[in-house]
Structures are given as structure tokens and as C-alpha cells.
Structure 1
């Protein structure tokens, strides 16, 4: 004959005061201690041994929730499993590798490109292999450095990407309650004091500015009333080559769709290049509109000579006025700044960053 369940009422649970054990049926008990403490206990027998499993204090776990937890425990027993062992396994601190796999699985739906998830998985399996067996709660700065130091100078872009992904995994572990304290993979104010910085970033042979300095540079740029200043900011925002910007015509611009289409004949790769325009890029174009006729063939950023494109020397002169020595930074170098930002700070896939260039 099946045992009766749900024998207690919510009123009884609220009003019972006497010390004792009150059965709700199915192994669930309300236990009232001498000190007035009230808790739920699930009593079960497995392999001939009776065991009590705590289900929480009555103050925090209402009757309906206690019954749900008891039902889950009974289901595990029906499968021959120990509900206490199963709960411990569920609450156990995962290894870094296990946590990394969970993070990739959780984040995959937000990535449009399936390759992005595969890249994250490969990075965290291959490049962070030394961390995978370590409990995520035990990962320290020294562990992170053991992963990064061998590749930091030899493969700087890869190393920066690995660091960022390790940081993301450890942040997720903290949010889950598996870690406390500062993130040992954090760059600013932590690893930046322990790993050498790349003093000069380059893409090809073009001197570049570190991406952390670009916002201040742009703020300075916006104080300057010059066509070259507008054109250079537009160059930075679009991650374009300076020649593509200087040669841009109004026929290539679709302000309504917020897209700039550089024709194949003006592209190094020999194919059309569509550039989505940010609100600020659109604002710059609107500021530049009165400088020309606006006809399809008119250049967007005209130089001193009416109708002629802005010269490359105009950028050099602008940088000189801003206090930069010849060759210290170049307009083309901001493409490198963009690429390093995309690899070190953003979560965009490598292919997307390369496509933007």
C-alpha cells in the first residue's frame, strides 16, 4: 500500500511549536528543535541504511518547495541514486576546464557565427591547457602567468585573446559563487604590472597608437577645426585605409542605410567593401556635406584645391600640429589599434575583425 503524502497543511506548518518530528509523508518531515529551529528533512533508506537529508529551513523553504525537493529526491532513489551524493556533485566546484566548457556553451547562442564558439573552445583547450585541471576556485595569478608568458611576446595577439577569455571564464565562476576576490587574469591594474607591454604596435610597417590612448586622441581631434581632423576621425571609426577615406565620394555613401561602399577599383583586395557607419561617422559626413557640391562624383573630404581630394600630407601636418613627431604614429596605424582592441577587449570573432579591415 502506497504511503500517504502531503499530510501537513500550510497552517499546521505555521502554527506547530512543540519539539518533535512531523511527517508530511513520502519521507518528508518538519523537524522542530529545542531551540525553536524549524527545518525540513527528507528521510530515506538506501541499501539497508536510513539517512536524513536536510532540505532547508522552514523560514526559507515553504511547504510547496519542500515537497518539490522531496519528490526530486524520491525520483533519484527510484533510479538507484543517492540524493545526497547527487546534490554534492551538483554543487561541487568545477575545474577550470569544466567551467570554460560551460561558459562556451552558455555564450554560444549569442554568437551569430558558429566558428566563434569553436575558436573559443579551441583557445581554452589548447592555449589554456595548463589551467584546465585546476579547480576554478584555486586559479591564481601564477597559474595565469604560466599560460601567458611562453606566448606573450612570440604570439602577442593570441596571448591577448587567451588572457581575455581566461578572464571571462573566471568572472563567470565568480558570478556562480565558485570564486571570490579579484580576477587574476585582469589586465588593467594587475597583469599590466607583471607582463611587458608592446611599446609600439604595428600592422605591416606603420607605427600605431595603443588602443587605450585612442579615445583621448579622438577627443583632442574633435577640438580642431580642420577637414583633415574630420577625415582622420572618420578613418579611425571605419578602420579604413587613409587613401580610401581621402578618395571617398558622395556616390559611395548611403546616409539613410548608414553604409559606405568602397568600390573594388579602390580596394587593395580588389572587391567591394561595405562599411557600416556609426552614428558619429554619419555626423561627420553631415558636417562635411557643405564642403562640396554633394554630387555623386564629388569627394567627401576636399583639400585646399577646390574639388581635389585631401592630400596625405594634410594628415601628417595635422599630427605634427597635435605634437607628434614624424613617424611616431600614422593614420594607417590606427588599423592596428583597431585590430588589437578587437582581439583584446571585444568578444567579436577573428574573422569579423579581419573583415572590417
Structure 2
């Protein structure tokens, strides 16, 4: 049987709807409208089956001719071993469905509920771009795209995410829903695309000095852009940027001036209550008026927020650095106890004895602290 019948130039010229063979089971299907998808066709007895191998020239990580041939080779090897492959509609199982199935299987392996919550939170928050993709179509490029934004800033979390994505895809392979090498395997090619973790420097997040902050925020308030409002809200609540961007209106009690962040969205996997200053509530109300039915409070990217912050500070300050500015202000300018400031930052107490006795989240003490912080942030002359 002839193989390698197609070439990139030939594929580009295919416009008539139909199925075109590359040989040895690999085909490209041209749809009405011009979209192209790779499929592998084989027979089990008299039954014709097909497996989707991804789209050609589509989406954020298209499957090239070379990659399609690699996937087809992997299918042929499994067929030669007598493996039973899932075909047809079932092969379109999404990454999210497979993620949930993987977590369900691993239930007995988790050390405790916190470990389970960390698994779920990492994949839910950082691998969101993969959720609606058919797990069979995920490529190394998709994995790199998800890892890159956090690989150098939070390398430990990024590597855990990589390993958890790999576990999900291994689960899919075991069920016959993924064919080929695991794209999240470090030795499978990622090591050539991402810096080794041990060479990454965690360093400190660049922070604007708290004495310069009121003037910077005054400049920020001259803009009504969502990014500017999101940055100011970040400063007033000293929340992490991911907690801000993931916030939804049902998490807020306007009457009580309270934000309850669910455990699934917190780094420590513990619910966190944030008392809101009057200015913070004003920002929320303004965003509610602009919401257009969406439940997401700040539909904005991290990059847009950083740009807005740096325009106001005129330096290379970071969003996370705002938390350091707050902590320095607490220590230098107030008499609030250390544990109250740490609770405002949702930090876990390292002293286990102190943590055992300190079971309250000191909400009312933190409310006083955050009101004073908001007043300071608005104190520019």
C-alpha cells in the first residue's frame, strides 16, 4: 500500500469536501466550508471504525502532516498489539471530563481533603484553556501554552501542573482515548521548550514603596478602564491577582461589605473572607453596572492589569508586589498585630502551636485594618 501520498502543498490545494488518503490508514477529511481534520480509519472484523487525530490548520495548536503521521504510527502499533481502541463519538471526550475521571480514580491516593483540593484547584485554575478540548487532540504546543505564563513566576506550581496534566493524559491513554506520546512528559520534548526548573530564580516580586503608593493610585484613578479598577481593587483587598480575575459576583455580599473566596480558588485551599472598604464596594458596584449579564467581576487579563499598574507607578512593579507594600505599611505605620496582617494576606501561620490556638480569622480586626489601609491608599494630596 502506498504511503505518504500527501504533502503540505497538496493539502493546501484541497478544497472539495471529501476524504483524502495519506496511506496506511491516515486520512484528512475536508469539510464543507474548508475546515480539515485528520482521521485514522481501520476495521475490526466487518466494522469500520475511525479515530479523530486533530484539526489541520485549526485552533491554537493545529496538527501538522508530520504530527498526524506520528499519531497514525502510534495507532498502528497499538492495533498490532491487539489493543482495543475507542472510536467515533467517544473519542471526543474533553480534557475536563477526563480530569474529573482521573481525580475520581485517585481519591484513595490523596493524603487528605487538602491534597484533593490542590489537585482540583491547580487543574481548574491553570489548565482552563484545555478543559473544552477533546483530550485526543491535545498536543505539546497546548501544554506549553498553558505552562508558559506561570513557568518562571511560580515554578513549583507550574511543575505540579505539568505532572497533573500528564496524569490526566496517561489516564486517557489507558482508556484508549489518547494515542501517542504523552505531551506533558518532561523528557518527551518539554525539556527543549521550557527552562529547567532548577535554573529558575524565584526572587522577590518587585514592589512599589508604600510611601509612593497613594500618588500612584491617584494616577490610576484618572482612568475608568477595567484594568485600572481591577488593579485598585487588588491593592485595596491585597488579594492575589488570580483570585481577583477569578472573582464572580455571587462571592460578594454588598450589604455586609464582605467577599468570601471559596477554598477551591485559594492557594492554601481554605475559604478566605475579605472585609471590603467603602471604596472597594464602590468599584464592585461600578463593575456590576458594566457586567452585561456576566458573573465575572473583572473580565481582564493579568497582562492588561500589569500594564495598567506600571503606567501608574512608572516602574516595573508587579501585582503581587502590592501585597508586600501593604505588609511593609502594616509593620512601619500601624500597631496592628502581626497575625492580623498575615490573616489579611491569607498566609498560613508557620508556627503549628500558634495556628492550633488561632482558629478565628479575626474578621472584625481585619476590617478595621483594611479600612485604615483604604484611607491611606486614598491619601494623596
The interval holding the TM-score normalised by the smaller chain is 0.3 to 0.5
With normalisation by structure 2, the TM-score equals: 0.36
Greater Rg by CA: 1
With normalisation by structure 1, the TM-score equals: 0.39
